[in-house]
């Protein structure tokens, strides 16, 4: 019985390890669920988003291993990709690990943490 159990456990651990979502530039990007023009890493796993408020029109929360470091700094490749999609960072509005991007009158807030990130589309009531 032990001879059968050990290989099954090894196989199960290999399968589970293969399902870990981790940031890599090579995997590419896709459209976020809240704004078709804003990129998120293709292998990010969508979680239950935060509730919207009067300042936040839409929200999405994603899990992705190594998306940010301990201070919430996003990978440089990801910031470049956001700019490649036509978004301009509002660097003067950045607060810690909260980044703001603007495109065609829309403002997106990107909050990076170690293995989780949030994307918020700000409501029209927010003035910067």
- Name which of 55, 34, 52, 38 is nearest 101 in CA terms: 38
The candidate with the shortest Cα–Cα distance to 23, out of 87, 82, 73, 68, is: 68
| Spatial contact of 112 and 68, defined as CB atoms under 8 Å apart | yes
Q: pLDDT 10s per residue in the chain (128 long)?
A: 545 545 454 444 444 444 444 445 556 899 999 999 999 999 999 998 878 888 999 999 999 998 988 888 889 999 999 999 999 999 999 998 899 999 999 999 999 998 999 999 999 877 77
Q: What length does the chain have?
A: 128
Q: What's the whole-model pTM score?
A: 0.76
CA separation for the pair 108, 10 (Å, rounded)? 43
């Amino acid at each position: 019985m032990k001879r059968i159990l050990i290989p099954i456990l090894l196989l199960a651990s290999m399968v589970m390890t293969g399902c870990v979502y981790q940031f890599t530039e090579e995997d590419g990007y896709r459209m976020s669920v809240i704004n078709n023009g804003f990129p998120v890493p293709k292998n990010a796993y969508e979680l239950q988003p935060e509730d919207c408020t009067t300042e936040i029109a839409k929200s999405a929360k994603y899990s992705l291993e190594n998306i940010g470091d301990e201070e919430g700094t996003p990978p440089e490749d990801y910031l470049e990709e956001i700019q490649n999609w036509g978004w301009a960072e509002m660097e003067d509005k950045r607060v810690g690990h909260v980044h703001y991007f603007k495109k065609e009158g829309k403002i997106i807030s990107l909050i990076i943490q170690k293995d989780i990130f949030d994307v918020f589309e700000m409501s029209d009531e927010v003035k910067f």
